[in-house]
Amino acid sequence: MVVPTSNRADYLEVTLRSLAEQDIDRPYEVIAVDDGSRDRTPAVIAAAGVGSIRHDEPQGPNAGRNEGIAAAEGDLIALVDDDTWIPPGWLRALVDGAERHPEGDAYGGPIRARLEGPAPRACGREEPPITSLDLGDADREAELVWSANMALRREAFERVGPFDERFTTGGDEEDWIRRLHADGGRVVYLADAWLEHRRTGDDARLRSLMRSAYRRGRNMRAYDGMRGVEPGVGRELRVLAGCGWHTVRRGCPQGLVMGAHSAGRLVEAVRGR
Q: Which of 199, 228, 249 is the last residue of a domain?
A: 199
Domain boundary among 139, 171, 199: 199
Domain shared by 156 and 212, yes or no = no
Residues 188 and 223 in one domain: no
214 three-state secondary structure: helix
The pLDDT tens digits of the residues spanning 22-69 come to 999 999 999 999 999 999 999 999 999 999 999 999 999 999 999 999
What's the domain range around 245?
Answer: 205-271
Specify the number of domains making up the chain: 2
Task: Report the pLDDT averaged over residues 95-104.
Answer: 97
Beta 106-108 vs 187-189: how paired, if at all? parallel
- Whether residues 225 and 185 share a domain: the answer is no
For residues 26 and 91, the answer to whether their CB atoms sit within 8 Å is no
8 and 123 co-located in one domain? yes
Residues 230 and 130 in one domain: no
Whether residue 106 has pLDDT greater than 90: yes
Summary mean pLDDT of the chain: 93
* Pairing state between β 31-35 and 51-55: parallel
Q: Which residues contact 79 (CB under 8 A, 6 or more apart)?
A: 1, 2, 3, 65, 68, 147, 148, 149, 150, 151, 152, 173
* Residues 179 and 216 reside in one and the same domain: no
Please indicate, yes or no, whether residues 113 and 43 belong to a single structural domain of this protein: yes
Last residue of a domain, one of 169, 199, 229: 199
- Cα 151 from Cα 101, distance rounded (Å): 13
> Among 103-112, 117-126, 201-210, 233-242, where is mean pLDDT lowest?
117-126
Is residue 50 located within the same domain as residue 183? yes
Residues 127 and 246 in one domain: no
pLDDT for residue 158: 97
Is pLDDT of 129 > 90?
Answer: no
Q: What counts of helices (H) and strands (E) characterise the chain?
A: 9, 11
Confidence of residue 272 (pLDDT cuts 50, 70, 90): low
